[in-house]
Structure 1
Amino acid sequence: MAWATPVRVRVPPPAPRSLCHRGLSSLTQAKSWRESYTELKEIVVPPHCNHHGTVFGGHILALIDQVAGVTAMEHCGSPSVVTLSMDRVTFYHPVKEGQMLHLQARVTYTGQSSLEVYVKVYGKDLADPGRPPWLTCEAYTTFVLVDANGRPVPAVPPLLLETPEDRALFEAAAARKEARLAEARRRRPQL
């Protein structure tokens, strides 16, 4: 039995909407990242720790995939999304047994059949309320909306870009996507 139950919180969308990145109005079912924003909180317990008493990196990676997957499903309005990739994850600071992990996930990019979800992971010491939360790691994950046969479906709702920050995150995500595609072409084995 788990010691703590993960909690997911959704933030309501704002009332006014702007144009989405595909140049369409909000009548095309474009969505704000706020509509699928997801949080997950979990207390670090002994089964999730290494011999140093800190959380296993692999456990954090699994939580990142989980919270990002829920975010992608919420944005697409479908459970039929699969993880395509997780960009390099660097662990900045450890989280110890008894401390809390707090994951925050938001959509930063949408294509025709794929979307990127950015996840920040914070640590928090519940025994020291004066200590501010610290950034543990961050990750960019890519998901693909698929049909029953596992083939990509070009039906991902476009992302509304409401602020300069939204646009900057979207442009950076588009550049990461191009870099991933170029790397995939370079690594593709010759037949």
Structure 2
Amino acid sequence: MRFHTRKWVKPQDLNPNHTLFGGQLLAWIDEELALYSIVQLENPRIVTKHMSEINFISSAKQGDIIEIGIDVVKFGNSSLTLKCEARNIMTRETIITIDSITMVSLGDNGKPKAHGKTEIEFVRNRIK
């Protein structure tokens, strides 16, 4: 799992139980998945099509630092299937896992568009 970003749990991220609100974590994850897909597929028009079961394993509290990890499962014709894990750096516990997320590349008409990608590319390798 490649961990790409970190988030600091602040007071506005908490639920009434004073732990990280699951909806906030999912928003962070969805944004990270979109950014990752935009870079991989070289298309700013990306949408989340599907998320499999979301497994909440543990939580986080104010002041904790969360890492979001993403791995590519497969490349489709117009899609990219990913998996995700968010973990608490402070406690070293996994907070959430999502085994399958489908992101779709869109054309200017808003319809799925073939992206032609078959493997992970690193930006540093695109620069000549």
TM-score, reference length from structure 1: 0.58
Q: Which has the higher helix share?
A: 1
Stretches of structure 2 that go unaligned for 5 or more consecutive residues are 121-128
Shift in Å, 1:38: 5.8
Q: Match for residue 93 of structure 2?
A: 134
Instruction: Quote the Cα distance in structure 1 between the aligned partners of 2:6 and 2:42.
Output: 23
Q: Which has the higher strand share?
A: 2
The one-letter amino acid of 1:109's match is K
Instruction: Quote the Cα distance in structure 2 between the aligned partners of 1:90 and 1:38.
Output: 18
Q: Percent identity?
A: 24
Instruction: Quote the Cα distance in structure 1 between the aligned partners of 2:116 and 2:49.
Output: 15
SS in 2 for 1:106: strand
Q: Runs of 4 or more off by more than 2 Å in structure 1?
A: none
CA contact (8 A) 1:94 1:136 kept: yes
Task: Identify which of 159, 163, 170 aligns with 2:119.
Answer: 159
Q: Match for residue 7 of structure 2?
A: 42
The aligned length equals 119
Give the superposed CA RMSD.
Answer: 1.7
Q: Match for residue 96 of structure 1?
A: 61
CA contact (8 A) 2:3 2:67 kept: no
Stretches of structure 1 that go unaligned for 5 or more consecutive residues are 1-33, 126-130, 161-191
Greater RCO (Cα-Cα under 8 Å, separation 6 or more): 2
